[in-house]
Amino acid sequence: MRRRVGALRRARVRWRRTSRGALVVAALLTGGATLMACGASSPPPRHVSQIEVNWTTFFNGTTPAARRIALLQNGPAFASVITAQSKTALAKSVSVTVTKVTVTTPTSATVRYTLRLSGTPLFTGQIGTAVKQNGTWKVSIASFCPLLALEQLTPPACSSG
């Protein structure tokens, strides 16, 4: 009888441990899935910072033309426009402040920014897009071409993009 009682107690303790263990494992797996889902929906911070840096570099009037071309989607198609702009005093006084970046897909992001002229806000709260092209986050032509249109410049690359 004692053997039976002892065996029953040991079996009950094993069952409790197993049940608790199963509950802990289930909770961890469920929590892990939730954490993984949360992580998948938010972009790595480096993407956001890369977009901010690339946008501010592109719109910095003192950035060399070659670097600006590299930071624009299909940049080589705009090489002549960017090179010509980089020689003007007006273009050298342009800058941008990025206020918010929202990565929407693995290859695109929405960028909220303020365009400045000699430090003075010119266009506040503008919304543009960044695209990831060849592994680099770039200013999209959808964002750049409307700004060129304000200067009454319409390169062929704007109509083909």
Strands 120-133 and 108-117, sheet pairing = antiparallel
Sheet bearing 108-117, strands edge to edge: 94-105, 108-117, 120-133, 136-139
Which pLDDT score, from 0 to 100, does residue 151 have?
Answer: 86
Q: Which amino acid is at 145?
A: C
Start-to-end C-alpha separation, the chain: 86
Tokens of 36: 């993984």
pLDDT, averaged in runs of 10, over the chain (161 residues): 52 45 32 35 75 96 95 96 90 93 95 95 94 96 93 87 52
Q: Give the closest residue to 71 by CA, choosing from 53, 89, 88.
A: 53
23 alpha carbon, distance to own chain's centre = 38
Q: Give the closest residue to 58 by CA, choosing from 158, 125, 141.
A: 141
User: Per-residue DSSP letters for 36-54?
Assistant: HHHHHHS--HHHHHHHHHH
Which pLDDT score, from 0 to 100, does residue 10 have?
Answer: 54
Can you tell me the distance from the alpha carbon of 83 to that of 79, in angstroms, rounded to the nearest whole number?
6
Which pLDDT score, from 0 to 100, does residue 6 have?
Answer: 53
Q: Please say whether the beta carbons of 92 and 62 come within 8 A.
A: yes
Which pLDDT score, from 0 to 100, does residue 160 have?
Answer: 67
Tokens of 89: 């005093």
